[in-house]
Chains A and B, each alone.
Chain A
Amino acid sequence: MKFQKNKYTSGVNGGMSRRSALKLSAGAAAATMIGAPALVRAQTGPIRIGNLTPMTGFLGTLGVFASKGAQLAAAEINAAGGVNGRMIEMMSEDSINPENGATKAQRMLERDGVDLILGEISSATALAISEVATRNEKLFMAVGPRSDVLRGGRCSPYMFCTDIPNTVMVNAVGTAMKNQGMVDGKKFFTLTADYVFGHDLLKAAKNFFDANNAELIGDELVATDVTDFSSFILKIRQAKPDVLALNLAGNQVTNFVKQYAEFGAPFPMIGFNLNTADAWAAGVGNLSGTWPTPWLDTVDTDATRGYVERFRAAYDGQTPENHSWISYNAVKIVAQAIAETGTAETPALIEYLESGAEFDLMKHRKGYFRADDHQLIQEAFSFSMKPDGSYDDVLNMLDLGPAVPGEGQPLEAIFPSGSECTL
């Protein structure tokens, strides 16, 4: 085995890997020549991206969509000749839980020599990976997690967050709700996913209720492996709220809305988190209410239409959901940063991402990272259901609302500043 491995280290120019460079550098005899070949490799070898995302468990469905989005972006970039001639080499792995995600991130950075880590949906796992990336001083593009805490008290100079955070999701739905007169003076009951993401979402929701004269009359924490919600539905009914608000995650939402419909949906329902795939999975006639999203396949731009078409062509006609979209864009953002800076070295990439450079996110307006907390500032949307019978397929049942913030307002209007993040 050892002999075989050594075969790969024999090349000095071009095809040399980071690991071989490191091996050579360890040898005293090679000490004088490490500078030059390492530099050659940095500009010509493949760009290695470690892609971690949950492919199983309650976020597994979303993870599979996310992975497809990232793979499509890499394939397109490579087909077009790579980034400054360098191909993207992506290693994708299932990040089962925080410990597993952290271990795999460590292995990718140390053993596989990836240039950066990209991915994740679970906020808890993202926090664990962020610590590993920070220790290794490598870029971590946190693609899908939404907890405010990642852009707040637990932010890192090495982590950039591309999805919309919890507060923005609450604001996106809240704005739509206020317009329908469903907030002021109303009694709310919430169900909350019992892990960092849910807790964080509940905090954002409470802030919103407090600021808008709404009352939270009850909240229940729900373990992520709960699949039967009937007893929670009885609890809600006993509390008699004006509006039920969900802070659930992954397929919890699908399970809940199906069973809530089964019990005749006794109160109006809204939710502060729902991914498109989980909405589709609810089936016809089960979902109701208003929900937030960073993007839907029906966003009215040419870039979105083109992307949906390419995604369908690549994946047997499947329609992309919001995690496919955000992962695709995260890879494109990294590619743009590498192309502009001419390197995949973390310090240069961070400097570029913090510079206010704009990125096309297939929406009406371009996005940019806020230097203070590394949040990708962008438009958000709310969506509701089309009336029953007005659509032929679950894929067409979601009715996208207007982008928030509206035209003329600055994008940061829905991204509150003054977070606890100090970089």
Chain B
Amino acid sequence: MEIVFLFEQVVNGLVLGGYYLLIALGLSLIFSVGGIVNLSHGAFYALGAYFFVQMVDTLGFGAAVVISPIIVAFIGIAFERFVLRQFYREDPILSLLVTFGLALVMEQAIRMIWGAAPLPASLPQAIRGPIFVGDMIFSKYRLLMLVVIAVVLAGIWILLNKTSFGRVVRAGIQNPDMVAALGIRLQPYMTAVVMLGVGLAALGGAMFAPITTVHPAMGSEILTIAFVVVIIGGLGSFWGVVAAALLVGVVRGATVHFVPAASEASMYVLMFLVLLLRPRGLLGESIEKFES
């Protein structure tokens, strides 16, 4: 029995890791391409949840989950154009400060628009409840989320690896000057990457809104985990982030099985160990522009 329980926790951890992945992947993309650590990433996650709650009663669950991240992606255009673009070539501390400030401004804006009290949100009856596989219990909704995440992930992988768009972005990650010398303007690609990044965060927010508390500070709750995942995975690595997200989920699940009170600490211990043994992260690549 004991081993079944552990297995159940591990599988549940994988599902949770998939959700961390949505937030962490966007963070990693924006960092890889722009060299900017986006501390306001959590606020876009919160915006995704709030837009979802705002629309779900009128448009229905499915439409709200789809439209909310699209709106946030469009907000991402302004974010890239008027904020991030000023800082690509600047000292990273400046973009760190400005995105931190923006996170506070966005959280306060949410508080002013929607109020400080959390907003209610529920799952539709049809996708609520458990699914049993043998003696193991799974949440129907989380499995559905996992499918959505897998599809999104596959889409992003194809976009980055099998399209001309992806080739430019990957080249831009390695050496933006060379890309420019070849006569390719990176800016529209950067805008698209930021749209994608914050859109993914918003998708995470929209999908998690029915099963977590929708409140103004929800963004800062998730941001730390996203950072831990990116750092463990290694900068610039798509599969590194994927592996790290799943690993964090699994380690957390296994910790809950053995020492529940230490569940939150487990990912930090993991990060500590990874950085100690492999400072570049699990699959971190050597990126020229950060190594000079």
Chain A residues with CB under 8 Å of chain B are 55-57, 60-61, 64-65, 194, 220-223, 225-228, 230-232, 234-235, 237-238, 251, 254-255, 258-259, 261-264, 266, 277-278, 280-286, 318, 394
Partner of A235 from the list B211, B221, B257 (CB cut-off 8 Å) is: B257
Contact at B217–A231, with CB atoms within 8 Å?
no
Is B264 part of the contact surface with A, judged by Cβ < 8 Å?
A: yes
Knowing A56-B217, A237-B137, A264-B129 are in contact, say whether A232-B260 is a contact too (CB < 8 A): yes
Distance of A65 Cα from B116 Cα, bound (Å): 9
Chain A nearest CB: distance from B268 CB in Å? 12
Partner of A281 from the list B5, B123, B213, B263 (CB cut-off 8 Å) is: B213
Which chain B residue has the least Cβ–Cβ distance from A250? B213
Distance of A394 Cα from B263 Cα, bound (Å): 32
Partner of A284 from the list B122, B142, B222, B256 (CB cut-off 8 Å) is: B122
Contact at B139–A231, with CB atoms within 8 Å?
no
What per-residue 1/0 map shows which CB atoms of B114-131 lie under 8 Å from chain A?
A: 011111111101001110
Query: Which residues of B are found within 8 Å of A60, using beta-carbon distances?
Result: 116, 215, 217
Chain A nearest CB: distance from B141 CB in Å? 6
Knowing A231-B12, A277-B118 are in contact, say whether A258-B264 is a contact too (CB < 8 A): no
Contact at A266–B130, with CB atoms within 8 Å?
yes
Distance of A264 Cα from B138 Cα, bound (Å): 10
Chain B residues with CB under 8 Å of chain A are 5, 8-9, 12-13, 15-16, 115-123, 125, 128-130, 137, 139, 141-142, 210-215, 217, 221-222, 252-253, 256-257, 260-261, 263-265
Knowing A262-B142, A281-B117 are in contact, say whether A251-B261 is a contact too (CB < 8 A): no
Query: Which residues of B are found within 8 Å of A254, using beta-carbon distances?
Result: 118, 213
Knowing A194-B261, A230-B139 are in contact, say whether A258-B211 is a contact too (CB < 8 A): yes
Contact at A223–B210, with CB atoms within 8 Å?
no
The 4 A-B pairs at the shortest CB distance, nearest first, are namely: A283-B120, A281-B118, A231-B256, A283-B122
With contacts A227-B212, A261-B122 known, what are 19 further pairs, Cβ within 8 A? A55-B116, A61-B116, A64-B117, A221-B260, A226-B264, A227-B221, A230-B15, A230-B142, A231-B253, A232-B256, A234-B8, A255-B211, A263-B129, A263-B130, A264-B130, A281-B119, A286-B122, A318-B117, A394-B120
Query: Which residues of B are found within 8 Å of A64, using beta-carbon distances?
Result: 116-117
Majority-rule SS of A interface residues: helix
Question: Can you give 19 A-B contacts (C-beta < 8 A)?
Answer: A60-B215, A61-B118, A65-B117, A225-B221, A227-B212, A227-B222, A231-B9, A231-B12, A231-B260, A251-B213, A255-B212, A259-B212, A261-B128, A264-B130, A266-B130, A281-B117, A281-B119, A281-B120, A281-B213
Query: Which residues of A are found within 8 Å of B252, using beta-carbon distances?
Result: 231
Distance of A254 Cα from B208 Cα, bound (Å): 13
Contact at B264–A259, with CB atoms within 8 Å?
no
Knowing A258-B210, A263-B137, A281-B215 are in contact, say whether A238-B117 is a contact too (CB < 8 A): no
Knowing A223-B263, A234-B8, A258-B212 are in contact, say whether A61-B120 is a contact too (CB < 8 A): no
Query: Which residues of A are found within 8 Å of B118, using beta-carbon distances?
Result: 61, 251, 254, 277-278, 280-281
Contact at B210–A283, with CB atoms within 8 Å?
yes
Distance of A233 Cα from B208 Cα, bound (Å): 17
Chain B nearest CB: distance from A27 CB in Å? 43
Query: Which residues of B are found within 8 Å of A280, using beta-carbon distances?
Result: 117-118, 120
Which chain B residue has the least Cβ–Cβ distance from A56? B217
Which chain B residue has the least Cβ–Cβ distance from A65? B117
Query: Which residues of A are found within 8 Å of B257, using beta-carbon distances?
Result: 231, 235
Query: Which residues of B are found within 8 Å of A251, using beta-carbon distances?
Result: 118, 213, 215
Distance of A286 Cα from B257 Cα, bound (Å): 25
Chain B nearest CB: distance from A237 CB in Å? 6
Which chain A residue has the least Cβ–Cβ distance from B5? A238
Contact at B120–A284, with CB atoms within 8 Å?
yes
Distance of A227 Cα from B260 Cα, bound (Å): 14
Contact at B264–A262, with CB atoms within 8 Å?
no
Distance of A384 Cα from B116 Cα, bound (Å): 25
Query: Which residues of B are found within 8 Å of A238, using beta-carbon distances?
Result: 5
Chain A nearest CB: distance from B186 CB in Å? 36
